[in-house]
């Protein structure tokens, strides 16, 4: 199974980003039937050191034997460059050619640039992108500099993913305190991603049995500007798709904006009057992206019917 993807600024669905342990063949076998937008095949935290080789072999078999997954991005999360496992992990990435490689514990631009150089040296296709986990204090402090690497020559950085478990551990913020004290850091990562045109994914919710708490985090994450949420269990897919996907009301509003600018009287105008509201052309750009996402969702439903 070989994948390619288009430019990093294209519209993509990243509402539900499910992490699947590469060491678990049963979990891997279920992936084609899941309704998530993105699958992260994890070689890092969910795989014990003595099982890393077995997990890589599982991934090579999965990518060789599985037909392309319609509507899903496939990401491989590798181990850190100083772990002793990264070289073999990258060889697996090159062999499998997923849509992207996810780097853990990114502290600064050099971590992204190092992997970009490795991919270039291996003649990896341009469509093989880089995602970065923002889960260390230094990484959050350097969020803008990291995001900026997505706009340099030969850039592959596509998306930032927040990792609150490691960030809590490093900062001493208790897990039971909710996310109140984490909001400034979350918003810092969102701002950095938006400044350089990247997507940004909210952190996992650890108690997958508490769907009400998960939905509350989804509502908060959507309000904060995240594109989607990282998940640890299939039960979290439906709520993530629902909260981070466009609602019927949002689709209707986007269609009204598109129609207002499509009217002959709006030709050449940057601002139009739509039902008593002044609508700027920047709102048209937002509306068109939302409508594109809605079409992708509808097309995927049609293909799975």
Q: What is the pLDDT of residue 202?
A: 98
Give, as one character, the DSSP assignment of residue 225: T
Residue 72 CA to residue 102 CA, distance in Å, equals 15
Residue 23 CA to residue 28 CA, distance in Å, equals 9
The total number of residues written for the chain in this structure: 305
Please list the alpha-helical segments (H only) found in the chain.
Answer: 25-30, 52-65, 86-96, 109-121, 137-141, 143-148, 164-171, 183-195, 211-224, 237-244, 248-262, 281-304
Q: Which residue has the tokens 């990247």?
A: 198
Measured in degrees and rounded to the nearest 5, phi and psi for residue 114 equal -60, -45
Q: What is the pLDDT of residue 7?
A: 34
pTM as predicted = 0.91
Please list the alpha-helical segments (H only) found in 122-265.
Answer: 137-141, 143-148, 164-171, 183-195, 211-224, 237-244, 248-262
User: How confident is the prediction along the chain (305 residues), in pLDDT tens digits per residue?
Assistant: 433 333 335 788 999 999 999 999 999 999 999 999 999 999 999 999 999 999 999 999 999 998 778 789 999 999 999 999 999 999 999 999 999 999 999 999 999 999 999 999 999 999 999 999 999 999 999 999 999 999 887 789 999 999 999 999 999 999 876 799 999 999 999 999 999 999 999 999 988 889 999 999 999 999 999 999 999 999 999 999 999 999 999 999 999 999 889 888 778 888 888 777 888 888 898 999 999 999 999 888 766 65
Residue 191 CA to residue 29 CA, distance in Å, equals 37
Select from 167, 173, 174 the least CA-distant residue to 204. Answer: 167
- How deeply is 84 buried, as exposed, middle or buried, from its count of CB atoms within 10 A (0-12, 13-18, 19+)? exposed
């Amino acid at each position: 199974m070989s994948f390619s993807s288009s430019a990093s600024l294209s519209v993509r669905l990243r509402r539900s980003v499910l992490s699947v342990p590469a060491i678990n063949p049963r979990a891997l076998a279920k992936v084609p039937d899941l309704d998530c937008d993105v699958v992260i095949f994890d070689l890092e935290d969910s795989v014990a050191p003595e099982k890393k080789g077995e997990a890589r072999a599982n991934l090579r078999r999965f990518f060789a034997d599985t037909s392309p997954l319609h509507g899903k991005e496939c990401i491989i999360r590798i181990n850190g460059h100083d772990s002793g496992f990264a070289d073999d992990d990258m060889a697996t990435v090159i062999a499998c050619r997923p849509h992207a490689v996810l780097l853990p514990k990114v502290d600064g631009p050099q971590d992204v640039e190092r992997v970009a150089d490795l991919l270039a040296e291996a003649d990896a296709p341009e469509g093989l992108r880089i995602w970065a986990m923002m889960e260390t204090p230094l990484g959050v402090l350097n969020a803008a500099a990291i995001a900026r690497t997505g706009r340099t020559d030969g850039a592959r950085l596509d998306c930032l993913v927040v990792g609150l478990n490691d960030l809590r551990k490093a900062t001493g913020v208790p897990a039971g305190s909710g996310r109140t004290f984490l909001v400034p850091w979350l918003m810092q990562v969102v701002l950095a991603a938006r400044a350089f045109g990247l997507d940004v994914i909210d952190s996992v919710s650890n108690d997958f049995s508490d769907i009400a708490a998960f939905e509350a985090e989804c509502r908060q994450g959507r309000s904060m500007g995240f594109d989607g949420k990282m998940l640890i269990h299939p039960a979290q897919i439906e709520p993530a798709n629902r909260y981070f996907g466009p609602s019927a009301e949002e689709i209707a509003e986007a269609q009204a904006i598109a129609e207002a600018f499509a009217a002959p009287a709006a030709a050449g105008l940057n601002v139009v009057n739509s039902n008593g509201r002044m609508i700027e052309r920047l709102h048209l750009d937002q509306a068109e992206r939302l409508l594109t996402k809605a079409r992708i969702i509808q097309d995927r439903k049609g293909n799975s019917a």
